[in-house]
Amino acid sequence: MKIPFNKPHICGGELGNIQKVLEGGHLAGNGPFTKKCHQFFEDKYGFKKVLMTTSCTDALEMCAILVNIEPGDEVIMPSFTFVSTANPFVLRGAKVVFVDSEDSNPNLDVGKIESLISSNTKAIVCVHYAGVACEMDELQSLARKHNLFLIEDAAQGLESFYKGKPLGSFGDLAAFSFHQSKNIIAGEGGLLSINNEKLIPRAEIIWEKGTNRAAFFRGEVSKYNWQDVGSSFLPSELISAFLWTQLENLNIIQKKRINIWELYRNELNELAENHPIELPFIPDYATNNAHMFYLVCESLELRTAMIQHLKSKGISAFFHYLSLHESPFYQDKHDGRELPNTIKYTDQLVRLPFYFDLKKEEVLYVCQAIKDFFKT
Ligand SMILES: *Cc1c(COP(=O)(O)O)cnc(C)c1O
């Protein structure tokens, strides 16, 4: 059997919707499908205002512009994350101050943030790793106490909740991804959620290359003009048309993914009790959106051997992330603090194949291969 790590799921209606765009003649951004997608997110999750973007990375770049990041500003975020969490802020001159992960899961350890706050700190960026919520009550009160912006990198967090409230609705700003590796996909694509109302007017302008074109199209102004900095953050209608089909299938996709996740957990639970591996930990305040399934091995050596063993059985399992504070780009800029839990997840976490079309017998095959690994 050959089991890839990821396979993008096509629901079936995508081409039909793209065809409609071609026939309708509005191919650029902010057309009917973009508006339908916006409406969907605002209605379903109660986000005050959303804007489709070409990627989550772009949505985070909008965040960095919106909170006026300037050279010398400091932004606190986890080191165990994708480069796109950090790059948008570094691009605007910020110094990134990395905080360690929790011991029990890869999310940032909120208890370690306060001692890192200085007079230059402007924002905290939290990442909901594997779609599991960070401790949002504590993050919000910390941000309020120190007058900082709170930004959620919710790239993996769609359809996940903290104490019943959807991820992406806690931060002043939040960013989602529809990259083909996520639950809901558009090839490349993203979404900015703006919960701080004060930031809404400027967000629209930054989104449309620094112009008030969005207001112009609504008939609110008679001409549009250069108002501010900005870029071309809005995606073409083709992207939104594709995404719309995926959104229509959201419940089906989520149900299937959760079944796959639970099958993995049920199959591996007993093994994890007697062997040096841990299964994902989901705190009581968080839900599971089945973005990924991972194991944490006791050591780097064990993980390397396990990945090798799975590979010999035709199974692609991968590790990530390589911690950002030790990256070639940032190691000289990091302040030298040790981040032991970040290193633990960098060295010991392994992700198992996970995608909508993964069959039950394939999950069982992967789990059997892991059980066999510990027998040998
Ligand atoms: C996928 C991902 C991103 C980047 O998303 P893109 O849409 O590819 O730009 C950023 N942060 C995290 C945590 C991610 O998982």
Per-residue pLDDT of the chain (376 residues; tens, 9 = 90+): 999 999 999 999 999 999 999 999 999 999 999 999 999 999 999 999 999 999 999 999 999 999 999 999 999 999 999 999 999 999 999 999 999 999 999 999 999 999 999 999 999 999 999 999 999 999 999 999 999 999 999 999 999 999 999 999 999 999 999 999 999 999 999 999 999 999 999 999 999 999 999 999 999 999 999 999 999 999 999 999 999 999 999 999 999 999 999 999 999 999 999 999 999 999 999 999 999 999 999 999 999 999 999 999 999 999 999 999 999 999 999 999 999 999 999 999 999 999 999 999 999 999 999 999 999 7
What separation in Å is there between the alpha carbon of 60 and the centre of ligand 1? 9
Which three-class secondary structure state does DSSP give residue 296? strand
Write the residue with the smallest CA distance to atom 8 of ligand 1.
179
What separation in Å is there between the alpha carbon of 191 and the centre of ligand 1? 11
Ligand 1 site, residue 177, Cβ cutoff 6 A = yes
Residue 40's pLDDT is what? 98
The ligand 1 atom at the shortest distance from the C-alpha of residue 59 is 9
Radius of gyration of the chain (CA): 21
What separation in Å is there between the alpha carbon of 56 and the centre of ligand 1? 5
Residue 194's pLDDT is what? 98
Ligand 1 site, residue 82, Cβ cutoff 6 A = yes
Residue 15's pLDDT is what? 98
Which of 51, 54, 56, 90 for a ligand 1 pocket mutation test, highest count of atoms within 8 Å of Cβ? Answer: 56
343: nearest Cα among 334, 333, 353 = 334
Distance CA 83, CA 56 (A): 11
Residue 210's pLDDT is what? 97
Residue 86's pLDDT is what? 98
Ligand 1 site, residue 56, Cβ cutoff 6 A = yes
Residue 246's pLDDT is what? 98
Ligand 1 site, residue 153, Cβ cutoff 6 A = yes
What separation in Å is there between the alpha carbon of 253 and the centre of ligand 1? 19
Distance CA 341, CA 109 (A): 9
Which three-class secondary structure state does DSSP give residue 277? strand
Residue 316's pLDDT is what? 98
What separation in Å is there between the alpha carbon of 260 and the centre of ligand 1? 22
Distance CA 292, CA 352 (A): 8
Ligand 1 site, residue 179, Cβ cutoff 6 A = yes
Which of 54, 84, 85, 125 for a ligand 1 pocket mutation test, highest count of atoms within 8 Å of Cβ? Answer: 84
78: nearest Cα among 102, 56, 55, 60 = 102
